[in-house]
Chains A and B, each alone.
Chain A
């Protein structure tokens, strides 16, 4: 898996109410949710972003509610992947289960601003800042079980494959 895109940077503790406010949870239609993605963190976000862009967060990204609507909204908005210093655990689980690529890097956040372009080589475990002089940054290794989930295409496919064995 490789990604190349412009980044949008957010701070620490971006909660699921900021990613998709609960007032919009009377639907789970991905496109309807995407229309309000990141609305309470940056009301203009959906006007500014382009499909393929990458979200960069600080500590504890996706804290708060268990709503899977959060990774669904991000994915449906066209965000390619999320890189954060750390992720809240239910958001982390949900992302792998439903197929939103997420990566942990403690260094990236301090080295980039909005509009910077980065390249992620998930297989190689590195992030490069395009045009940046810095050495490639190492992504926290993804545990083998989570890699299996991704390779199988999410939790339900993983379960189906297990049953087929």
Chain B
């Protein structure tokens, strides 16, 4: 029987010839990921369950990125638990400060996650890797402990919603704008428990960076995973990184979908999602006059070199508004170095920005740009819940790097065409 790409990848990780929505399966895991927030609980659960050895030290990835480099004593203790565990079990893919970056930018860049993989991570934005044509989903710490111990995990095969993006993008419209628009259309639970398959001619033209951004936010619509059909763009990205075999899957033409949603890309302008839900998205021309205090450009959603180039193209020869805080956070050491080589750091520094080390930091209210009561930040991150970036009385406006950069210059919500 015909299957979607999500169903095919899941079935290939079981002994079943085919799987269908609603089935409960036990599937083999290619990569299991944890970070300094979620891994300590997983390690505790692993040990308390009598775990002596991990199922495969090559297939576990541990990245200190959320509150690392250690932001305080408690964070230092959590990172130490993970570091000690990684040493004890000789985990191949443990990344120390200096090598570490924001996990969902780091793993694809290093070729650790590949097309056709089944990836679980104790971080909700693990769905990012669907951009490669992998099945990737966020789980909790106990799930991570189980995966580290057995190399398997239970899944309910999700139904798939197919999103078809038609037409050509307008200037400055990125993957971030497409996904914010999509979440605005279906709501923060519009894809609850389901796979989101992103297709259409507008999708084929997207860079891998834009695809990572879109898959990253599938969870903000409640999705179990976001996924793209791998193509020559995927191949070009993966070929130079992969050190093991990978496989391209695609959906059968007559595969069954929960629903098909057509989106006319030509009607979409750069988006901004108002507080306090990612679904409060609207076009930048409808944003009104909103004074902003800070701009964060970075994160697993938009901290890649392509994102920094977009920001730099707007900031070049301009300066952030008086009293405005512009914080640039390259997501990985490689992005950091590349941005430096390309001269982007000079552009940012001339614009009055500060350039942070790679970290999740402010995205989840950790450090490096926390907001006081009543303050507002535009951010290229993925969540704008109450208190997400600091005081419960602060506000986060989600946008792509173009709007985040233009807003820094204007001092209020603005797109590049409004400068």
- A residues contacting B by CB (< 8 A) are 13, 15, 17-18, 21-23, 25-28, 39-41, 43, 59-60, 63-69, 72, 86, 88-90, 93-94, 97-98, 143, 145, 154-157, 159-160
Q: Are B140 and A159 in contact (CB under 8 A)?
A: no
Decide yes or no whether B62 CB sits under 8 A from chain A: no
CA distance A149 to B322 in the complex (A): 57
Q: Say which size band chain B's interface belongs to.
A: 35 or more
Decide yes or no whether B111 CB sits under 8 A from chain A: no
CA distance A157 to B49 in the complex (A): 8
Q: Are B122 and A88 in contact (CB under 8 A)?
A: no
The 8 Å CB contact of B38, one of A13, A67, A98, A160, is: A67
The 8 Å CB contact of B124, one of A66, A145, A156, is: A66
CA distance A23 to B154 in the complex (A): 31
- B residues contacting A by CB (< 8 A) are 24, 37-38, 40-41, 44-45, 48-50, 66-67, 71-72, 74-75, 78, 121-124, 126, 138-143, 145-146, 149-150, 154, 188-189, 192-193, 219, 222, 224, 277, 364-366, 370, 383, 385-388, 390, 392
Question: What are 29 pairs between A and B in contact, CB < 8 Å?
Answer: A13-B188, A15-B383, A17-B383, A17-B386, A18-B387, A22-B364, A22-B366, A23-B370, A25-B364, A26-B67, A26-B75, A26-B78, A27-B78, A40-B392, A59-B189, A64-B124, A68-B122, A68-B140, A69-B41, A86-B189, A86-B192, A90-B138, A90-B140, A93-B143, A98-B140, A155-B146, A156-B145, A159-B146, A160-B50
Q: Are A156 and B45 in contact (CB under 8 A)?
A: yes
Q: Are B388 and A63 in contact (CB under 8 A)?
A: no
Shortest Cβ distance from residue B364 to the other chain A in the assembled complex, whole angstroms: 4
CA distance A39 to B391 in the complex (A): 11
Q: Are A90 and B364 in contact (CB under 8 A)?
A: no
CA distance A82 to B397 in the complex (A): 30
Q: Residue on A with the closest CB to B44?
A: A28
Q: Residue on B with the closest CB to A88?
A: B222
What chain A residues lie within 8 Å of B154 (beta carbons)? 145
What chain B residues lie within 8 Å of A72 (beta carbons)? 41
Q: Are B192 and A97 in contact (CB under 8 A)?
A: no
Shortest Cβ distance from residue B53 to the other chain A in the assembled complex, whole angstroms: 14
The 8 Å CB contact of B365, one of A13, A23, A41, is: A23
Q: Are B189 and A88 in contact (CB under 8 A)?
A: yes
CA distance A27 to B78 in the complex (A): 7
What chain B residues lie within 8 Å of A68 (beta carbons)? 38, 41, 122, 140-142
What chain B residues lie within 8 Å of A69 (beta carbons)? 37, 41
Shortest Cβ distance from residue B377 to the other chain A in the assembled complex, whole angstroms: 15
CA distance A63 to B193 in the complex (A): 11
The 8 Å CB contact of A60, one of B40, B75, B121, B188, is: B188
The 8 Å CB contact of A98, one of B75, B124, B142, B392, is: B142
What chain A residues lie within 8 Å of B150 (beta carbons)? 159
Q: Are B142 and A21 in contact (CB under 8 A)?
A: no
What chain B residues lie within 8 Å of A23 (beta carbons)? 365-366, 370, 387, 390
